[in-house]
Amino acid sequence: MPDTLAINGGTPAVPEDMVRSWPPITQADRDAVLSVFDTDPLHTRFAPKASELERRWADYCGAKHCILTNGGTQSLHMALLGVGVEPGDEVIVPAFSYWSSAAAIIHANAVPIFVDIEPHTFCIDPDMIERAITPRTAAIMPVHIHGMPADIDAIVDIAEDYGIPVVDDAAQAQGAKYRGRTIGGLTDVTAFSLNRLKNLTGAEGGLLTTNSDAIYECAAATGGMGRVTVEGSDAKRTFFGHGYNYRPQELTAALALSQLDRLDEYNARRREMADYLTAALHHRFGIVGSIVPDYAEPVHFMYVIEFRPEELRLDIPLADYKAKVWAALEAEGVPICQWQQQIIPAMDFFQDERGYAATPAWSMGGSTVSYDPHDYRRAQEFVASHAYLRGVHPPNGMDLMERYVEAFEKVLQQIEQVLG
């Protein structure tokens, strides 16, 4: 006889306060941050901790260059300008991502061209990229969403055929591997976020990696107020041009460096928890966990679950099933969230001409692109049928995952009552 459901007054499967938040902060982190006040200066890429982080992150990714910035969106913007995206150009990007992927394209005064997602990884579908390419395409931006690597080889092959650079958005994928190779050195340029939620955090901040000297020089100048120093025959001379203040600060670098010491360990613990959940859900009907393709070693920035009423042969609309199962799980103490309520092209900015059409790429660049959310069926289906299980990260551990599985079992075994 299963325990009484929490929605019916039973004891929740997950005790209150058992789910702890990210990131774990250790004494080493505290010491690292405080040590910044003993050094000088407190900002710029050339401060000691910033330089050390750039060196270590380049090595970690197997990339020649790294630039520390003050945000992931900023890193993406610098990366796009670094590969030569110009006003009015088009940039291909998946229809499902965080808003920043599109925002960085808008910042570059370029036009986002959305492409639908692949049904298991939820990353851009390489098979759909080619038909989105036009003479105006200046970059392709895959996003390693939820820490799952996009199919980079397939994307780079297409890009090379057309001579288009690839800028990957790895904001959520620090340490993820594609066919055994670390994300960050596999395309023309990669952008990472260091915000508080990310697998590697400095509270706020970003990183950019590239193997290209030219992209590095351009991105570094763009993010450093347009500043370029030229060695003349007599002396060095500094010039300022079009650029932005995307300079980092030392406190971020110190925290990120200290967290980097534990990145691989934390990612391994995320994987252990995620694999356990996926295996447990595999034996039950009605909810499915993350699916990992053979090529990928993901880092599970977020753990994705899919609601599948059809597996239970239930004739109930997906939205009702999801809402009821969600409520029952939440009552059991399982924290669930939606993260993104909409795919990017369905957002007001792209549905109302006072949004995108007022930006320079349309108003001055003469773009005629418009956005129909129905063109991205899989991305829409993903938002409708999926949600996120929170807490699948350190300092939480397998004890919490066991409670989650108990909650899933309890709810799915008594599904008639849940749907009542």
Ligand X SMILES: Cc1ncc(COP(=O)(O)O)c(C=O)c1O
Pick from 7, 73, 322, 373: which binds ligand X (CB under 6 A)?
73
Q: In the β-sheet with 137-140, what is the strand arrangement from edge to edge?
A: 111-115, 90-94, 137-140
Cβ nearer to ligand X, comparing 97 with 290: 97
Q: Which residues contact 114 (CB under 8 A, 6 or more apart)?
A: 93, 94, 95, 343, 344, 345, 371, 375, 376
**By CB under 6 A, is residue 72 in contact with ligand X?**
yes
Cβ nearer to ligand X, comparing 101 with 259: 101
Determine the Cα–Cα distance for residues 289 and 266; give it in Å rounded to an integer: 20
Cα 100 to chain centroid distance, Å, stands at 10
Determine the Cα–Cα distance for residues 336 and 330; give it in Å rounded to an integer: 7
Pick from 137, 193, 201, 278: which binds ligand X (CB under 6 A)?
193
- For the bound state, the minimum distance from the C-beta of residue 318 to ligand X, rounded and expressed in Å, comes to 25
**By CB under 6 A, is residue 169 in contact with ligand X?**
yes
Q: Which residues contact 416 (CB under 8 A, 6 or more apart)?
A: none
Of 156, 183, 180, which Cα lies nearest the Cα of 172? 183
**By CB under 6 A, is residue 97 in contact with ligand X?**
yes
- For the bound state, the minimum distance from the C-beta of residue 94 to ligand X, rounded and expressed in Å, comes to 9
**By CB under 6 A, is residue 396 in contact with ligand X?**
no
Cβ nearer to ligand X, comparing 118 with 332: 118
- For the bound state, the minimum distance from the C-beta of residue 28 to ligand X, rounded and expressed in Å, comes to 23
- For the bound state, the minimum distance from the C-beta of residue 206 to ligand X, rounded and expressed in Å, comes to 5
Q: Which residues contact 346 (CB under 8 A, 6 or more apart)?
A: 373, 380
Cβ nearer to ligand X, comparing 195 with 385: 195
Piece of the chain touching ligand X by CB under 6 A; list 93-101, 146-154, 249-257, 399-407? 93-101
Site for ligand X in 194-253 (CB under 6 A): 195, 206
Cβ nearer to ligand X, comparing 96 with 266: 96
Type of residue found at 195: N
- For the bound state, the minimum distance from the C-beta of residue 246 to ligand X, rounded and expressed in Å, comes to 10
φ/ψ bin of 205: left (φ > 0), alpha (ψ from -120 to 50), beta (otherwise) = left
Piece of the chain touching ligand X by CB under 6 A; list 13-21, 36-44, 117-125, 165-173? 165-173
| Cβ burial 224-262 (10 Å sphere, 16+ → b, else e) | beeeeeeeeeeeeeeeeeebbebbbbbbbbbbbbbbbeb
Cβ nearer to ligand X, comparing 71 with 223: 71
- For the bound state, the minimum distance from the C-beta of residue 43 to ligand X, rounded and expressed in Å, comes to 17
**By CB under 6 A, is residue 143 in contact with ligand X?**
yes
Query: DSSP string covering 256-322, please?
Result: HHHHHTTHHHHHHHHHHHHHHHHHHHHTSSSEE-----TTEE---SSEEEEE-GGGGT--S-HHHHH
Pick from 7, 49, 68, 101: which binds ligand X (CB under 6 A)?
101
Cβ nearer to ligand X, comparing 73 with 209: 73
Structural tokens at position 96: 């499902």
**By CB under 6 A, is residue 98 in contact with ligand X?**
yes
**By CB under 6 A, is residue 171 in contact with ligand X?**
yes
* Residue number, nearest CB to ligand X: 72
- Give the Å distances, CA to CA, from 264 to 33, 250, 267, 270, 299: 21, 23, 5, 10, 9
Site for ligand X in 41-60 (CB under 6 A): none
Cβ nearer to ligand X, comparing 323 with 337: 337
- The contact set with ligand X (CB under 6 A) reads 71-73, 97-98, 100-101, 143, 169, 171-172, 193, 195, 206
